[in-house]
Amino acid sequence: MSDAYTLARKQDLNYAAQKQKELFAKKTDIPDDYIVSGSQTQASSADGGSNVFTFTKKGGGTATFTVKNGSKGSTGAQGPKGDTGAAGTQGPKGDTGARGAAGTNGTSAAWHSGTAVTGTSSTAVTATVSGSKAGDMYLNTSTYNVYKAVTANSWVYVCNIKGATGATGAKGDTGAQGPKGDTGATGAKGATGASGTRGSQMHWGTGITGTSTTATVFSSSGVSSALVNDLYLNTSTWNIYQCTVSGAASTAKWVYKGNIKGASGATASTGTPTTAGLTRLYTGTGTNTNGTMTQKAITDELGKCLKTDSIEWITEAEIDAMYASV
């Protein structure tokens, strides 16, 4: 008897006992020898083994029922292949296997670089590279193209390793002041620049007269192109005038600023001929004698510098003061 049959038989008996128990529970006039419950009290899976079922009667007695296991039958024919089951859990890591035998030495690929290999052809092109062999790589340092040798001096294009231009980085900190460089060579002479506006000038004559401080045109001044702040000296009166409106004589305007003729000096005394160490002046004519100078000699020297005998000299400080007030 097979295990499957024995199990089915056990299930049938249990089910029958349970159903009878349920039925008797609903009646009150059940005879005492009727079974009211039951269960398997002994189990065996061995060939010929006993499976005992014990039942309880209404009156309190018990009865047993034994089911013997049959002998194991011969192996049946193999059934069809079942569906693949779910993957099992990962098993423990196995022991490290024995080390394999050493392989034969391979040929190392070498890198070459330069500009001899060019283009982007996937068909081998010939370019002589000293020492190249199959498997070697080549970098063109100008285009950044990479090539692989299929045989010595025969290359195919692989790729380009030059990346896109990166974004401009943040401005770095100002570096430390470098050492002063050598003085450079003198540059070529530049072109002559445009003429600048002339500065103030001094004019002279007798065309501008009077002492008016109101700007006035003097057409006979003789100044053909006056600029503002130009000065004019009347050589007869020694009056000074300043230009306030520029232009030709017919449009330029002048104002009186002052007079540079100083006051007359005191009359000098005549020296005594007998006074030792002093210059002696004589009223008559004569020449230098024994280190003395006559009045005529002094007058002649002054005449070489002056145009008139009526000039009264002023000091340099007085002239500076006059220009400062312009």
115 CB contacts (<8 Å, ≥6 apart)? 140, 141, 142
Query: Same domain, yes or no, for 207 and 233?
Result: yes
171 within domain boundaries: no
- Say if pTM beats, i.e. exceeds, 0.95: no
Query: Same domain, yes or no, for 291 and 254?
Result: no
Residue 206 pLDDT level (bands cut at 50, 70, 90): very high
The pLDDT of residue 279 is 44
Could you report the per-residue pLDDT of 31-63, keeping only the tens digit for each? 877 777 888 888 888 888 888 888 888 777 888
Q: Which domain holds residue 243?
A: 202-259
Could you report the per-residue pLDDT of 122-150, keeping only the tens digit for each? 899 999 999 999 999 999 999 999 999 99
Query: Same domain, yes or no, for 19 and 55?
Result: yes
Query: Same domain, yes or no, for 254 and 280?
Result: no
10 within domain boundaries: yes
245 within domain boundaries: yes
The pLDDT of residue 9 is 65
Query: Same domain, yes or no, for 11 and 54?
Result: yes
Residue 80 has pLDDT above 70, yes or no: yes
Last residue of a domain, one of 13, 46, 68: 68
168 within domain boundaries: no
Query: Same domain, yes or no, for 54 and 23?
Result: yes
215 within domain boundaries: yes
190 within domain boundaries: no
87 within domain boundaries: no
Higher pLDDT: 110 or 104? It is: 110
Mean of per-residue pLDDT scores for the chain: 80
Q: How many domains does the chain have?
A: 4
Query: Same domain, yes or no, for 287 and 312?
Result: yes
31 within domain boundaries: yes
